[in-house]
Chain A
Amino acid sequence: MNTMSDLGNALQDDPLLRCTFCRKSFNCNQQIINAKGQTFHSHCFVCAQCFQPFDDGVYYEFENRKYCENDFQLLFAPFCRGCKLFIKGRVIKAINFNWHPECFRCHSCNVLLDTGFVKNAQRPFCRECNLKEKIKNQNQIKCHKCSTPIENDMIRYKGETYHPYHFNCKLCDQELNCNAREVRGDLYCPKCHDKLDIPICSACHTPIDQERIVYALGKTWHVEHFACAKCEIPFNGSKHFEKRGLAYCEAHYSQLFGNLCFVCNSTITGDVFSFMNKSWCDKHFSCYLCDGMMNQKTKFYDFDSKPVCKHCFDKLPSKIRSAILKASDTKEQSKSIFSWIKDK
């Protein structure tokens, strides 16, 4: 028969009779708790979260740790979106949340959604209420951050609408209101925005916040606002023609100002030589017969409304010369009109 001290020795020596939690042996008069074949000191057999003994010895195990009911639910159990209590038993997972089956109800009419639901702005609805909600929301602007309707002030940011109070000024950190301005993806209060020295578009008189700015006619423009003064189609980087402080596309410039060079058939941008109903750029204003360059001082004849220098005229047979003179002088309308318009 073993004596008490023998038992004490046996308890101390047996490696199996150690506390699973603290790995220490038991003293002979200590209470040993046995749970599923594991032994614990009574002060070691507590909740891993609150270190309190378990009520009625009921514990929940998760990854080899033991928790009291309350902490286990707090840490790991699903939490009902509806009643805010823990869910035991059947869980409905919908719209990124968990629900008691009896709590999963229409957001509007509170009917039990056991036969299906419709998601609308992160909320469940029955079909009828969803329809009503949709109609109600059609004219309502929602904040892209909090998904609630925007009643008063609103700002636009990166293509979405928001309550201004979700944002702060990039520079002064002040909460923004509806006067906030976006510059290259950041939001500023009007005061700080003015300090940024943003160019103003000459067409719409609003700041040019994008990366691309057009510098033309001594002014700055939004790319999409720098357009032909006649057809209003933006140039988008294509060639434009300036006249009296306005810009035109090539087609309308030549239509309005009629200055296509007779020789090269391109729009004249510099000095313009005009004779009869024709125009020439200064590079191409030349005698029709010898292609010799002419200028505003050169004397020339009207040969079927084409200019011919005196030199060439004198080389023509006399019969042709008199025919040219006759053809050009028979009617008032045909009198040679020559003009030379210096550019600017």
Chain B
Amino acid sequence: MPGKLLKKILEEHKQSEHDSLSIIDQGINSILEIPELLTLKRLTRLTLSHNRLNSIPAQIAELINLEQLNLSNNQIEELPTSISSFQNLKILKLCFNRINSLPRGFGAFPVLEILDLTTNNLSETSLSNNFFELKSLRALYLADNFFEDLPKEINKLENLQILVLRTNELISIPDEISDLKNLKELHIQSNRLCILPPSIVQLDLFNPKSILKLDNNPWVDGIKNAYDISISHLSDFLASENYKKVYDQEINNSSKASLQPKSERYKRLNKK
């Protein structure tokens, strides 16, 4: 049953003409506990952060005007397939949950711009088939998941400006990343990366206005030494003939990367 504070929030919302609603840290276990929520058709922004939701009902798609949906820090394990039917959804935040896989057809959002799946239990095998059809995405947050491989299809997300893959199990970055001409922010710290594709220097990641985070990876010495000096040294090194030789050598001899131990985070996966 809704608590006193929750009742007050709903009452205040009804009286106001706002088209946004935030119910934060109210210990809600399910959206169905608040039946009136799904009747608020005019909502464009719904924030349900820091609750205890463990699933999302298919009926959430009835809030057809939603532009922003924030479900951060809940206990969601599964999403309904209906979620991708939001025609106006621009921002979807699902960080700090327990999502194991994305529902079928998840890539169907027509105007999604920001997708946050930070700290979930996802890997390249748990993405939907059409995931890389999300052409309107400008920010994709996949930090703290279990990706070992970034699919080559990443190059289909041609509007991507921000890609965050911090704290995964990545062994390599595909050459196709250099097709993301708008990329200005790349976080790949805390992975198992030894090398970067030389073509990455074509991207606008090596200037002070961009963000490139590489720390905590088992980089080959050349990359590590150059990165320790400065970003521009790194860019020069990656563009050099010398590095091309290093890269070809490492590609042929990829055993080193696979030798890198997996992180202890797998315990999180096994816990459930």
Flag whether B189 is at the interface (Cβ < 8 A). Answer: yes
Task: Give Cα A289 to B116, complex, Å.
Answer: 11
Per-residue 0/1 for A253-269: is the Cβ within 8 Å of any B Cβ (1 yes, 0 no)?
00000100001010000
Task: Give Cα A195 to B215, complex, Å.
Answer: 73
- Assess A291 versus B166: contact at CB under 8 Å? Given A277-B184, A316-B96, A331-B213: no
Interface of B is mostly: loop
Nearest CB in chain A to that of B210: its residue: A277
| Contacting pair A330 B216 (CB below 8 A) | yes
Q: In the complex, how many residues of chain B place their beta carbon closer than 8 angstroms to a beta carbon of chain A?
A: 41
Per-residue 0/1 for B225-248: is the Cβ within 8 Å of any A Cβ (1 yes, 0 no)?
000000100000000000000000
Which stretch, B27-35, B54-62, B65-73, B194-202, touches the partner chain A?
A: B65-73
Q: Which of B139-161 contact A (CB under 8 A)?
A: 141, 143-144
| Contacting pair A327 B22 (CB below 8 A) | no
Task: Give Cα A253 to B231, complex, Å.
Answer: 28
- Assess A304 versus B143: contact at CB under 8 Å? Given A290-B47, A312-B50: yes
Task: Give Cα A152 to B183, complex, Å.
Answer: 63
Q: In the complex, how many residues of chain A place their beta carbon closer than 8 angstroms to a beta carbon of chain B?
A: 22
Which residues on the A side are within 8 Å of B162 (C-beta)?
305
Task: Give Cα A118 to B93, complex, Å.
Answer: 81
| Contacting pair A316 B211 (CB below 8 A) | no
- Assess A333 versus B231: contact at CB under 8 Å? Given A305-B187, A315-B25, A327-B189: yes
| Contacting pair A291 B211 (CB below 8 A) | no
Per-residue 0/1 for A197-209: is the Cβ within 8 Å of any B Cβ (1 yes, 0 no)?
0000000000000
- Assess A330 versus B189: contact at CB under 8 Å? Given A304-B141, A316-B96: yes
| Contacting pair A304 B209 (CB below 8 A) | no
Which residues on the A side are within 8 Å of B47 (C-beta)?
290-291
| Contacting pair A304 B118 (CB below 8 A) | yes
Flag whether A149 is at the interface (Cβ < 8 A). Answer: no
B-contacting residues of A (Cβ < 8 Å)? 258, 263, 265, 276-277, 288-292, 304-305, 312, 315-316, 320, 323, 327, 330-331, 333-334
Question: Could you list 30 A-B pairs, sorted by A, with CB under 8 Å?
Answer: A258-B209, A265-B138, A276-B211, A277-B211, A288-B93, A289-B49, A289-B70, A289-B72, A290-B22, A290-B47, A290-B49, A290-B70, A291-B20, A291-B68, A304-B141, A304-B143, A304-B166, A305-B162, A305-B164, A312-B73, A320-B96, A327-B166, A327-B167, A327-B190, A327-B213, A330-B189, A330-B213, A331-B213, A331-B215, A333-B213
